[in-house]
Amino acid sequence: MPLIAVVDDDISVRESLDSLLRSAGLAVRVYGSAEEFLNSKHHCEADCLILDVRLPGMSGFELQRKLLAGSCRVPVVFVTAHGYDKRTMSEAASDWTVAYLTKPFSEAELLDSINTSLRWKPSGQSERVKPRRSHE
């Protein structure tokens, strides 16, 4: 069963995503911060990482860079309540970024992004789906 990790500082978001993903038949682990995720023994085991952009301490972008620098390759679905602009989109750009969803996003958008991440191949390794933003 695929393991989905959720890193979001909002407990209501963590609880609702945990419930949604479990109801979709996925294994889920939730974390309230990037540091909590990194300190877990499961941080390189996730098949998909749902990652809030703005977190206390280390940001979602910083976490992704740290994972990649440590050879932990996990497809990321970024989520944010703060929209996007050219600067944030350039920070999110990575061969391992699957989607950038703006809260509130639909359950279908999230589940579609997770399904894409479970088939994800970085550029140069077979067919790659272009990362998409919600509300396009």
Q: Which two tokens stand for residue 106?
A: 């639909």
Tens-digit pLDDT profile for residues 30-75: 999 999 999 998 888 999 999 999 999 999 999 999 998 988 889 9
Question: What does pTM read for this prediction?
Answer: 0.85
Tell me: pLDDT of 9 over 70: yes
**pLDDT given at position 118:** 94
Looking at every residue in the chain, the average pLDDT score rounds to 85
Query: In the structure, how many helices (H) and strands (E) does the chain have?
Result: 5, 6
Q: Which residue ranges form the domains of the chain, and what is each CATH number? A: 3-133 (3.40.50.2300)
pLDDT bucket at 131, cuts 50 / 70 / 90: very low
Tell me the average pLDDT across 96-112: 92
Confidence of residue 129 (pLDDT cuts 50, 70, 90): very low
CA–CA separation, 19 and 61 (whole Å): 25
Q: Is the pLDDT of residue 83 over 70?
A: no
Give the span between the Cα atoms of 5 and 109, in whole angstroms: 17
DSSP symbol at 3: E
